[in-house]
Structure 1
C-alpha cells in the first residue's frame, strides 16, 4: 500500500519502505501526537522518535526487534509521557538536545547538538537544531525525509506563544537550516497531524513571516 502519513489515534501505523530505512508512523493519545519508529533495513536496529504516550501501543509497534535509541524532539510533556516506560522496557538510550534534556523525566544518555548524527544501524540521521518552539527543539534528517517535531507543520512553523523574538528565531532557523539547503521533494514528518513536503510549504514562507506565526 502507498504511504500517506494519515493516521489516527487507536488506528494502525502507516509504514513506508525506503532503500535503507523503514519508517512506521503511529498516532497516540491523548494529544494526537505522532511517534515514529525508524529501522535500519540492513541491521534491524531501530530508533523511536518521541515516546509521546500509549506505551503499550509503542511497545507493540517496536515488537521483538531491539531499538537502540529513543529521541525526544523537545521538552514538552506531550512528547515524552511514555518515555520512562518504553526506555525501561527496551533499554534504549535516551537522546535529546542539552537545552531541553533537564525537563525530561529520565536522564538523557546522549546529548546531541546541531550537526551531530543519531545512528540507526548503518544509517546516521542528521540533527538539526531549530530554536524557538523550545530552546532545544531538534529535527532529524535522512536525505529526502525530515522529522520536525513541533517546529514545522503543514501551514507554518511551531507555536512560539506570540513571542516575536522566539518566532523570528524559529522562522530564521527553519528558513536557513531547512528550506535554504534541502530540496522541495523532502518529506516532512511532524509531531502532530498530517505530513507535508518542503515544496508544498515553500511558497507560503513570506506569508508566515508577515503574519508572525
Structure 2
C-alpha cells in the first residue's frame, strides 16, 4: 500500500517501506502527537522518535525490541510516555544536550549538531535548531537509495515553522536554522515528518519561506 502519513489517534499506524528502513507513523493522544518507529530491515534494530503518550499503543508497535528512544525537544507532550516505554523495553534514551535537563527521564546520550546515530545499517544525522526550544533537534535520514527523510519534531510543519510564542528573537533564530540547515542543503524531494499532523516535503514548503518570514510566525 502507498504511504500517506495521515494518521489519527486511535487509528491504524501508517507504514513506509524503504530499501533499508521501515518507518511506522503512530498518532497518540491527548495532543495528537506523532511518534515514529524506525526499524532497520536487515537487523531489526529499532529506534523510536518521541515517546509522546499512550505507552500501550507505542509498545504494541515496538514489539520485543527497542534500542533507543530519541526525544526531539523538552516539551512534555513529546515525552509523556518515555518512562513507561523505557521501563518496558530497557531502551537507552537520547535528546539534545541543551534540552535534556527539561526531560523528566535521565538522558543516556546527549546530542549535538552534526552528531550521528546508528542502529543496524541505518544512520541518522542530528541537526540542532534553536527557537521552539533552546535544544530542539531534528533527525535526517539520507536514504542512499532514494531521497532524504527529515523528522522535524515541532520545528517545521506544513505551512510554517514551529511556535515561538510571539518572541521575535526566537522566531528569527528558528527561521534562520530551518532555512540554513534544512532548506538550503536538502532537495525538494526531502520528506518531512512533523511532530503533529500530516507530512509534507521541502519542495512543497520552499516557495512560502518569504511569506513566513514576513508574517513573523
What is the CA–CA distance in structure 1 between the aligned matches of 2:66 and 2:141, rounded to whole Å?
18
CA distance in 2, matches of 1:211, 1:84: 39
What are the Cα deviations for residues 55-87 of structure 1, in whole angstroms up to 9, with x where unaligned? 0000001012x1110000000000000000001
Structure 2 counterpart of 1:183:
187
2:165 corresponds to 1:161: yes
Provide the residue aligned with 1:90 in structure 2.
89
How many residues align? The count is 212
- 1:91 is displaced (CA, Å) by 0.6
Aligned partner of 1:52 in structure 2 is 52
Which structure 1 residue ranges, 4+ long, deviate > 3 Å from structure 2?
Answer: none
TM alignment of 1:33-72, pairs within 5 A: 33-64=33-64, 66-72=65-71
Task: Give the Cα–Cα distance (whole angstroms) in 1 for the partners of residues 107 and 29 of structure 2.
Answer: 24
SS of match in other structure, 1:96: strand
Give the Cα separation in 2 of the matches to 1:103 and 1:85: 17
Residues in 2 aligned to 1:148 and 1:192: alpha-carbon distance in whole angstroms: 10
Give ranges in structure 2 of 5+ residues lacking alignment: 143-147
Most deviating of 154-163 and 119-128: 119-128
Are 2:215 and 1:211 aligned?
A: yes
CA distance in 1, matches of 2:202, 2:16: 18
Runs of 5+ unmatched residues, structure 1: none
Tell me how large the CA RMSD over aligned residues is.
0.5
Q: How is 1:75-114 mapped onto 2 (pairs within 5 angstroms)?
A: 75-114=74-113
- Report the TM-score, using the length of structure 2 for normalisation: 0.97
Alignment partner, residue 145 of structure 2: none
Q: Residue by residue, what CA displacement relative to the aligned partner does 1:181-208 show, whole Å, maximum 9, x if unpaired?
A: 0000000000000000000000000000
Whole-angstrom distance in 1 between the partners of 2:129 and 2:20: 26
Once residues 158 and 20 of structure 1 are traced to their aligned partners in structure 2, the CA distance between those partners, rounded to angstroms, is 30
